[in-house]
Structure 1
Amino acid sequence: MDVGGTWIKGALIDVASGIPAGTVRRLQTPAGGSVDAVADAVDRLITELEAGSPGAAGRPVGIAIPSIVQHGVARSAANMDAGWIGRDVQSYLQSRLGRPVCVVNDADAAGLAEARYGAGSARKGVVLVLTLGTGIGSALIVDGRLVPNFELGHLEIGGFKAESRTSAVARENEGLDWVEYAGRLQRYLAHVEFLFSPDLIIIGGGISVCSHEYLPRLSLRTPVIPAKLENLAGVVGAALQATAAGKEIIQNT
């Protein structure tokens, strides 16, 4: 499951291939995004998915949420009700859904999926996945293992929070052309490169489909490439975290 501010997406995922074993379904996120209302929607979505695949009943569920997640507890809430903050969401959902549940930050889920099946497949070392959308989501994968809650959208550059100036929405809101936007992205990525020296940077989010407009204008030591899994990455990454295969992530790639 991938819980967003607008939609909740879900699918049965074959974790050997990262491919949905059936239809990808979605429900609108309940207005206000309270924990209880989201749990009800997730429960309905699971029921729909299991109706088409009876053998899936009782299987573990991975749920990506737009929150910092520390040991199952939500520490923030982006476009969701403030009631998420400080809540042991993982324990609550496990009890509510009556099955094993693994809750993960949405950017972390997308990063794991991209590293296992997408643009970072078979790449060892330090892989940084950035999703450029309403804000900037980030995931750091080191030799196949996730460093959780790596919030690089909140770095301060030039007196501004990075995502307020460098996200896809910031580009749209300010009417920046691609040359102007690439300049901002260059400054941000050069700073990130200096701090963390990644071996690969993967750019995801909706803006990744326009990568030909800005990637050729960047000048970094680190290779920068577009993501491949697009909007399915969060669902796939959540499934990985919910299975034994997810614990070892890309160790056997």
Structure 2
Amino acid sequence: MTILGIDIGGSGVKGAPVDTVRGELLGERFRVPTPQPADVESVVDAVAEVAATFEGFDSVGVTFPGVVVDGVTRTAANVHKSWIDAPAAQLFTDRLGKPVTVLNDADAAGAAEVAFGAGRDESGLIMMVTLGTGIGTALFLDGVLLPNTELGHLELDGKDAELIASDRVREAEDLSWEKFAHRVSKYLRHVEMLLSPRLFIIGGGVSKKADKYFPLLEIRTPVVAATLLNNAGIIGAAVSAEQATTGRGGQHPGSIPVDASRPGTPGAAEAHSVNAGEAR
């Protein structure tokens, strides 16, 4: 079975076929710019353009920058409001002619990191934080995903946290690495106070520049950079799609538990430990 993973980001829609056992891309990924405005019709067209560059895939996993419940997109913080309550999984399935699973983008990236990357072999409460157009988050307890946390929207200094500490804000305000590290530290300390995670995994495009600001972070919890970089969402989406299509949810160590009777939906399933072997 060939699985295609597609990651919808704030600036680009990118995809590639994925080896879901090894957690690796099977070919060079293809990317198109995210449409502006990123309304339902335009984004579906962009996803179809990415998918059309690949042949022979059996199912597709698609990430979405918002809450996804039963294949329906419930929020749309960084895309057009037409996505609120849109039947995303059905829309993509109808357009691509293949089964499509849709899940939150940070959840997908986090699942890939827990199974194949920086969170491998880690137990307890692990938090993935993607610093990109916004702030995405994913929580894992002993390798099992707690979906749709959206903790990038916590209030910080009277504002939505992603309006203070995202990579988009760093670029827009031309922040020094020192100032950016101060803001990220403030956000992580707030989450630390609320949840006491054992590990933060920092993803998103800015994770490639971890050496610039990680040494400046002031936080008690260990912080590591995501190792799968911008491929994490693609890989996590493909793994989720395979589980939904085959009914093998939870069989990959560190995988996203999926209720196979409801494609497009991360569900609650039996916990599995993380021992398997490229962020928004």
* TM-score (normalizing by structure 1): 0.89
Q: Tell me, yes or no, if the aligned pair for 1:201 and 1:225 is still in contact at 8 Å.
A: yes
Choose between structure 1 and 2: higher helix proportion: 1
Correspondence list, 1:177-196, <5 A: 177-196=176-195
Q: Residue type matched to 2:37 in 1? A: G
* Structure 1 residue 25 corresponds to structure 2 residue 30: yes
Correspondent of 1:13 among 15, 18, 38 = 18
Write the distance in 2 (CA, Å) between the matches of 1:60 and 1:247.
Answer: 18
Write the distance in 2 (CA, Å) between the matches of 1:48 and 1:197.
Answer: 43
Gaps of 5+ in 1: none
User: Deviations along 1:10-33, whole A, 9 cap, x unmatched?
Assistant: 111000111111221123334433
**How far apart are residue 63 of structure 1 and its match?**
0.4
Gaps of 5+ in 2: 1-5, 255-271, 276-280
Q: Tell me, yes or no, if the aligned pair for 1:127 and 1:198 is still in contact at 8 Å.
A: yes
Correspondence list, 1:80-95, <5 A: 80-95=79-94
Aligned position for 1:197: 196
**How far apart are residue 236 of structure 1 and its match?**
0.7
Q: Residue type matched to 1:17 in 2? A: R
Q: Residue type matched to 2:26 in 1? A: A
Q: Tell me, yes or no, if the aligned pair for 1:239 and 1:246 is still in contact at 8 Å.
A: no
**How far apart are residue 85 of structure 1 and its match?**
1.0
Q: Tell me, yes or no, if the aligned pair for 1:240 and 1:247 is still in contact at 8 Å.
A: no
Cα RMSD for the two superposed structures: 1.9
**How far apart are residue 209 of structure 1 and its match?**
2.1
Number of residue equivalences: 247
Write the distance in 1 (CA, Å) between the matches of 2:14 and 2:174.
Answer: 30
Write the distance in 1 (CA, Å) between the matches of 2:20 and 2:199.
Answer: 23
Secondary structure in structure 1 of the residue aligned to 2:194: helix
Aligned position for 1:128: 127
* TM-score (normalizing by structure 2): 0.81
**How far apart are residue 148 of structure 1 and its match?**
1.1
Q: Tell me, yes or no, if the aligned pair for 2:78 and 2:134 is still in contact at 8 Å.
A: no
Aligned position for 2:265: none
Write the distance in 2 (CA, Å) between the matches of 1:194 and 1:248.
Answer: 33
The percent of aligned pairs where both chains have the same amino acid is: 45
Correspondent of 2:42 among 37, 47, 53 = 37
Q: Tell me, yes or no, if the aligned pair for 2:182 and 2:218 is still in contact at 8 Å.
A: no
Aligned position for 2:63: 64
Q: Tell me, yes or no, if the aligned pair for 1:114 and 1:229 is still in contact at 8 Å.
A: yes
Secondary structure in structure 2 of the residue aligned to 1:243: helix
Q: Residue type matched to 2:45 in 1? A: D
Q: Tell me, yes or no, if the aligned pair for 1:240 and 1:246 is still in contact at 8 Å.
A: no
User: Deviations along 1:113-151, whole A, 9 cap, x unmatched?
Assistant: 111111111212211011112221111111111111111
Aligned position for 2:100: 101
Larger mean CA deviation between 79-88 and 39-48 belongs to 39-48
